[in-house]
């Protein structure tokens, strides 16, 4: 029997839920969902397009991790936007774009991205807010990354060389510099100690690359002036918006398989791309999250090194790369291509708690005679559907495929799921039944209007 304070707390929670679930609650604003949208694979799932599309229904889009290692491509008419650091919500007038505390910011990259958007007529400065708790990337972070990636006997991760990992290292080691330090003009002492630290590492590794720390300091003082008007306590801002009944879309960068804890470690990025990162990376508590949407390609890709069970290294993989234009939007590197991996998706669904999945790039499979889907793994002669933790075990996986017939016709221009060719619909149903996650939407082209929603789906209800 629950008694005393616990009982009172439960009753209060019950009332709170009732209030949020009742749009007509007297005197209260209508219930609006706060949703997380994140990648269910190794990144590049097409989140940029989905976030841009959904952002119309939200008051703010908040990015919670990563830095300018991410690249979100959005097509609007004949205009192509590649957003690296700024949430794609910025492309919708009136939607606030928030860079949360979990993001690492290279001010030079930020200002150049802002300039590009301003030149395209987007009023970035009126729509963008940056967390004063976000950490700052300096040029020497890239130097350190180069040392680390190039060192003998070190397993190279194949990073984007943007200084992301070393900046997060400084954050966790409690020697990093944050946006607040930068804009409050009191970071010089702290900066000099950080610079000394980097010089020591460089000399230990016999690195002769000259870094002019004074020049960097002067440059960052200038960056600080440009960033100051945008910096604030974004955790307070977002929580206040939620209290006012406004709705927030949380945008993950990279994908769950690149998450520092749940990805194919060490071949991962240095932040929490999974759903939990949305709370730690913005300061919005889990009690305010109403739904989690996973984005997955109809097949799968990976950039950089690391195990990839369903990779196709044959000509068919090359065909997918060309059809899907699978080249990194940040580094231009060719992406490794492979087949939809059901155990992987079940794993990412478990650690994220997906309410619904969006399947992207369905049209890339249009020409294929048959489509392999990895439905299980074989490890040590045993069939398993679980994702192992160690690199050596993931590398040892032999994928077990089921081959589905292709639909051999274009799906471009189809605007309702029911109008997809029969085999395409069967493919979607197959993925849904095997993964156990609702497929609430299918994207069949890069444009905003090339996205179909499943009528009556949980996704549709969350977006209402
Ligand atoms: P880092 O994030 O630059 O440290 O790179 C770590 C790993 O994550 C490398 O394998 C990168 O290729 C990968 N990675 C980082 N950002 C992205 C992304 O936006 N899409 C796909 N892979 C990424």
Start-end of H helices in 271-378: 276-280, 315-323, 342-352
Confirm or reject: Cβ of 264 under 6 Å from ligand 1.
no
Catalytic residue among 44, 52, 181, 341: 44
The minimum-distance atom of ligand 1 relative to the CA of 165 is 4
Atom of ligand 1 nearest to the CA of 258: 8
Burial 241-252 (b: 16+ CB within 10 A, else e): bbeeebbbbbbb
Query: Helix, strand or coil for residue 441?
Result: strand
**Ligand 1 pocket, 71 CB below 6 A?**
yes
The separation between the first and the last C-alpha atoms of the chain, rounded to the nearest angstrom, is 38
Instruction: Determine the distance separating the centroid of ligand 1 and the alpha carbon of 50, expressed in angstroms.
Output: 20
Distance CA 318, CA 337 (A): 7
Q: Where are the extended beta strands (E) located within 119-189? A: 128-131, 135-136
Annotate 79-114 with DSSP letters as a single string: EEEEESSS-GGGGSTT-EEEE-TTBEE-HHHHHHHH
Interatomic CA distance for residues 312 and 371, integer angstroms: 12
Give distance in angstroms: CA of 337 to centre of ligand 1. 15
- Residue identifier of the C-alpha nearest atom 12 of ligand 1: 304
Nearest-CA residue for atom 10 of ligand 1: 304
**Given CA atoms 313, 317, 319, 322 in this order, what sign does their dihedral have?**
negative
Using a 6 Å cutoff on CB, does residue 303 contact ligand 1?
yes
- Verify whether ligand 1 is closer than 6 Å to residue 100 (CB atom): no
Exposed/middle/buried for residue 383 (C-beta within 10 Å: 0-12, 13-18, 19+): exposed
Low pLDDT (below 50) residues in the chain:
1-31
Distance CA 96, CA 74 (A): 17
Cα-flanking dihedrals φ and ψ of residue 24, to 5°? -95, 10
Q: What number does the ligand 1 atom closest to the CA of 162 have? A: 3
Residue 157 alpha carbon to ligand 1 centre in Å:
9
Q: What is the pLDDT of residue 24?
A: 27
CA 362 to chain CA centroid, Å, is 20
Q: State whether the beta carbon of 116 lies less than 6 angstroms from ligand 1.
A: no
Sign of CA dihedral 311, 316, 319, 320: negative
d(CA 98, CA 61): 6
Q: Which ligand 1 atom lies nearest to the CA of residue 71? A: 19
Check residue 8 and give its pLDDT.
Answer: 46
Determine whether the shortest distance from the Cβ of 445 to ligand 1 is under 6 A: no
- Please report, rounded to a whole number, the percentage of residues in the chain having pLDDT higher than 90: 76
Instruction: Ligand 1, residue 270: give the atom nearest the CA.
Output: 4
Q: Is 43 in the pocket of ligand 1 (CB under 6 A)?
A: yes
Q: What is the architecture of the domain spanning 135-228?
A: Orthogonal Bundle (1.10)
Rounded to the nearest whole angstrom, what is the distance from the C-alpha of residue 105 to the centroid of ligand 1?
A: 15
Q: Where are the domains of the chain?
A: 33-132+231-292, 135-228, 296-462
Q: State residue 464's pLDDT score.
A: 81
User: Phi/psi at 421 (nearest 5 deg)?
Assistant: -55, 150
* Residue whose structure tokens are 């350190």: 144
**Residue 13: exposed, middle, or buried by beta-carbon count in 10 A (0-12, 13-18, 19+)?**
exposed
CA dihedral sign, ordered 22, 25, 30, 33: negative
**Residue 233 designated active-site:** no
Are the C-beta atoms of residues 142 and 163 closer than 8 Å to each other? Answer: yes
Please tell me which residue in 52, 59, 68, 72 is annotated as part of the active site: 72
Domain covering 33-132+231-292 assigned CATH 3.40.440.10 in the classification: yes
Distance 320 CA to ligand 1 centre (A): 20
Residue nearest to atom 9 of ligand 1 (CA): 159
CA–centroid distance for 218 within its chain: 33
Ligand 1: distance of its center to the CA of 42 in Å?
8
Cα–Cα nearest to 356, from 444, 299, 296 = 296
Non-local (6+) Cβ contacts of 280 within 8 A are: 64, 102, 272
Query: Can 369 be counted among the known catalytic residues?
Result: no
Q: Assess whether the C-beta atom of 258 lies below 6 angstroms from ligand 1.
A: yes
Instruction: Ligand 1, residue 160: give the atom nearest the CA.
Output: 3
What pLDDT is recorded for position 199? 84
- The pLDDT, as a whole number, for residue 212 is 86
Task: Provide CATH code, domain 296-462.
Answer: 3.90.170.10
Nearest CA to ligand 1 atom 11: 159
Ligand 1 binding pocket includes 291 (Cβ within 6 Å) = no
Tracing tokens 């300061």 back to the chain, one arrives at 283
Backbone angles phi, psi at 361, to 5 degrees: 55, 35
Query: Could you read off the pLDDT of 216-235 as tens digits, one per residue?
Result: 999 999 999 999 999 999 99
From 43, 259, 324, 327, mutation site for ligand 1 pocket: most ligand atoms within 8 A of C-beta? 43
């Amino acid at each position: 029997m629950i008694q005393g304070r616990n009982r009172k707390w439960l009753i209060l929670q019950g009332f709170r839920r009732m209030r949020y679930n009742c749009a007509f609650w007297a005197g209260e604003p209508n219930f609006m969902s706060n949703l997380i949208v994140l990648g269910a694979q190794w990144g590049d799932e097409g989140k940029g397009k989905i976030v841009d599309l959904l952002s119309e229904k939200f008051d703010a889009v908040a990015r919670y991790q990563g830095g300018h290692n991410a690249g979100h491509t959005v097509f609007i008419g004949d205009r192509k936007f590649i957003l690296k650091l700024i949430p794609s919500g910025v492309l919708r007038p009136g939607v606030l774009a928030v860079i949360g505390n979990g993001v690492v910011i290279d001010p030079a990259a930020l200002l150049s991205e802002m300039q590009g958007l301003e030149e395209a007529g987007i009023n970035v400065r009126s729509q963008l807010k940056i967390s004063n708790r976000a950490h700052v990337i300096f040029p020497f972070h890239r130097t350190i990354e180069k040392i680390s990636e190039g060192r003998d006997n070190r397993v190279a991760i194949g990073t984007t060389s943007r200084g992301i990992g070393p900046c997060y290292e400084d954050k966790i080691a409690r020697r990093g510099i944050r946006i607040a330090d930068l804009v409050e003009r009191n970071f010089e002492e702290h900066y000099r100690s950080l610079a000394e630290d980097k010089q020591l590492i460089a000399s230990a590794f016999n690195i002769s690359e000259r870094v002019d720390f004074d020049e960097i300091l002067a440059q960052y003082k200038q960056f600080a002036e440009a960033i100051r008007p945008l910096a604030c306590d974004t955790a307070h801002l977002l929580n206040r918006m939620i209290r006012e009944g406004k709705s927030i879309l949380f945008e993950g960068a990279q994908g769950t398989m690149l998450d520092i804890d749940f990805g194919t470690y060490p071949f991962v990025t240095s932040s929490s791309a999974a759903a939990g990162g949305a709370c730690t990376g913005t300061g919005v508590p889990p009690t305010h999250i109403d739904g989690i949407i996973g984005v997955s390609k109809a097949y799968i890709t990976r950039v950089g090194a690391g195990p990839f069970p369903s990779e196709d290294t044959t000509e068919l993989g090359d065909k997918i790369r060309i059809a899907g234009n699978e080249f990194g939007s940040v580094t231009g590197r060719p992406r490794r291509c492979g087949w939809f991996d059901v155990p992987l998706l079940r794993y990412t669904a478990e650690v994220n708690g997906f309410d619904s999945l969006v399947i992207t790039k369905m049209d890339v499979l249009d020409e294929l005679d048959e489509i392999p889907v990895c439905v299980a793994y074989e490890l040590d002669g045993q069939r398993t559907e679980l994702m192992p933790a160690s690199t050596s075990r993931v590398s040892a996986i032999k994928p077990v495929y089921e081959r589905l017939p292709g639909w051999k016709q274009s799906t471009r221009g189809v605007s309702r799921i029911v109008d997809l060719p029969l085999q395409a619909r069967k493919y979607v149903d197959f993925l849904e039944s095997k993964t156990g996650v609702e497929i609430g939407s299918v994207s069949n082209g890069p444009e905003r209007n090339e996205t179909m929603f499943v009528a009556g789906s949980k996704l549709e209800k969350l977006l209402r």
